[in-house]
Amino acid sequence: MQKHTANSVKLGVFVLAGIFLLVLTLYILGKNKGMFGASFDLKTHFRAVNGLVKGNNVRFSGIDIGSVKNIVFVNDTVIEVTMSIERKMKSIIRSNAVASLGTDGLIGNRVVNIAPARGEAPLIKEGDLLPSKDEINTDEMLQTLRRTNDNVAVIAEELRSTIHRINTSAQLTELLEDRTMSANLKASFAHLHEATEKASALMTDASATLTLASQGKGALATLLTDTTLSQEIRQVVKKIKQVEESADRLANDLNQVVVSVDKDYNTGQGTVNALMKDSLMAAQLRQTIDNVEKGTETFSQNMEALKHNFLFKRYFKKIEKEEKKKAVQKKSQ
């Protein structure tokens, strides 16, 4: 009898364990599908659902919040998907949230993804129609990929052509094989480096100068801050202006002279005209100059004769000695 009771207990445990596991499994599956919690319906429209079936999950920002309840045709281009959503999501999802189709992993089940959108919108209500975004179709992706491939083929062909031209270019080959080029480049870089260093030093000096100037020291600071200097500069500028005005007047006078001369020349009157156009006067003037030259030469001979005359010889020697003395003094200085 005791053995019979023990067997009955074991059997009871066995049966209850089996029933418990079955119920637990069904409960978890039901809970996953939102069968036991309070829920409400939301709708959205798609052009194509791409394999979505009843019972597929609905996610909001990646979290499972419900399942697809029904899928019906509205017309030949619109399919209405009704989703059963957990009631607690009523206080979170807004009416501008966007529904889209996705896949659970790379090859997993289809899912409806609801994503929040920017901007303010009221919270959703029972039976609201959410805006939807059509999924990128695989065929469309392949078509885009095909266009990309075509473009890549064109680019590759052009690249090949360019490389061929580079390979067959004599000038480029010569340039590449020119060993002096690298030396020149090196030298250029050295000069560039040197120039950069000088520029750097210059900038350092400028910086120091500016620092001094900002501290009120140095010539630049004086130039920038000394009021008397600016006064003097102003006066200098004023004088330069006066000189400029004098120069203007002089130029005007000269201009008047030139105009007068030009007038005389054109009218055949005046001294200038006589000097420039009267050949007789020019001949007389030349004769006069010749006479003056001859007179000067004769005077020079007379003076030389005076130097050698005993009455004046002493005087000229004295002058010669003084000049020599001055020359020696200048050298010693």
Partner 1 sequence: MAKFELTLPENTRRFLHDAGELSRFAARFFAEGFSPRYEVLEFVRQCFVVGYKSLPLAGLTAFIMGLVLTMQLHPTMVYYGVEAMIPAMVGISIVREIGPILTALIFAGKIGSSIGAELGSMKVTEQIDAMEVSGTNPFKYLVVTRTLAATLMLPILVIIADAISLYGSYLGINIYENVSFYLFFKQIFDHLLFMDVVPAVIKTFFFGFAVGIIGCYKGYYSSKGTEGVGRSANSAVVVSSVMIFILDLLAVQITDLL
* 41 torsion bin: left (phi>0), alpha (psi -120 to 50), beta (else): beta
Q: Which of 38, 106, 311, 319 binds partner 1 (CB under 8 A)?
A: 106
Q: Which of 87, 92, 84 is nearest to 116 (CA)?
A: 92
CB 306 within 8 A of CB 312: yes
Rounded to a whole number of angstroms, the CA Rg of the chain reads 57
Only segment of 29-37, 74-82, 215-223, 236-244 that touches partner 1 (CB under 8 A): 29-37
Q: Taking CB under 8 A as the rule, does residue 11 contact partner 1?
A: yes
Residue 25: CB minimum distance to partner 1, A: 6
* 80 torsion bin: left (phi>0), alpha (psi -120 to 50), beta (else): beta
Q: Taking CB under 8 A as the rule, does residue 70 contact partner 1?
A: no
Please name the helix (run of DSSP H) or strand (run of DSSP E) that holds residue 226, with its range, or none.
none
Provide the token pair at 86. Answer: 């957990």
Alpha carbon 228 to chain centroid, angstroms:
45
Per-residue contact flags (x/-) with partner 1 for residues 32 to 61, judged by CB under 8 A: xx---------------------x-x----
CA–CA distance, 55 with 111 (Å, rounded to integer): 9
Q: Which of 250, 299, 292, 115 is nearest to 258 (CA)?
A: 250
Which CB, 105 or 122, lies closer to partner 1? Answer: 105
Q: Which of 52, 108, 115, 263 binds partner 1 (CB under 8 A)?
A: 108
Q: Which of 28, 142, 163, 185 binds partner 1 (CB under 8 A)?
A: 28
Q: Which of 1, 38, 107, 319 binds partner 1 (CB under 8 A)?
A: 107
Residue count, binding to partner 1 (CB under 8 A): 27
Residue 30: CB minimum distance to partner 1, A: 8
Per-residue contact flags (x/-) with partner 1 for residues 207 to 236, judged by CB under 8 A: ------------------------------
Which CB, 26 or 251, lies closer to partner 1? Answer: 26
Only segment of 15-23, 91-99, 242-250, 269-277 that touches partner 1 (CB under 8 A): 15-23
CA–CA distance, 213 with 167 (Å, rounded to integer): 60
In DSSP terms, 57 is beta-bridged to 67
Is the dihedral angle over the CA atoms 246, 247, 252, 254 positive or is it negative?
Answer: positive
Q: Work out the number of other CB atoms within 10 angstroms of the CB of residue 124.
A: 22
Which CB, 16 or 306, lies closer to partner 1? Answer: 16
- Interface residues with partner 1 (CB under 8 A) are 4, 7-8, 10-11, 14-15, 17-19, 21-22, 25-26, 28-30, 32-33, 55, 57, 64, 105-109
